[in-house]
Amino acid sequence: MKNLKLLTAIVIFSATVYSCKNKTEPQIKTIEVEETIAKNEIADDAILAKAEFNIAGMTCAMGCAKTIEKKLAKMEGVKFAKVDFDKKSAIVEYDEAIVTSSSLESTVTNAGDTYSVNNMKILSSFSND
């Protein structure tokens, strides 16, 4: 009786193992994805301004600085934005007809509870070349 149970268990185990070994090829599915990156279009005749300011409250380069930089760059009218974590500063080039220094400051402060802007310097009225 013990041998019969052992033999039955071996047969069931062997049947299970061999029946699960299908030699099917994995399916490869190709999905076309259209990547769209929003780029701010600045008019050729736009009067550009550049703001340089310090940002207090950043604690890391990847989280804080990159988050602020992305939010500034996505603003309508912003041509260029760069946040330097090591210097705790930012440089933003923008169309002064659309963006103001107060809107830049509110974008930074709205990016996180701990961020604040100080020592903002504006260089205005240079051409869009």
With 70 as the cut, is the pLDDT of residue 24 above it? no
Name the residue with higher pLDDT: 123 or 67. Answer: 67
**Hey, where are the domains in the chain?**
48-126
Q: What kind of fold does domain 48-126 have according to CATH?
A: Alpha-Beta Plaits (3.30.70)
Mean pLDDT confidence for 41-65: 86
pTM for this entry: 0.64
Range of weakest confidence among 15-19, 59-63, 71-75, 82-86: 15-19
**Which of 49, 104, 55 lies closest to 84, judged by CA?**
55
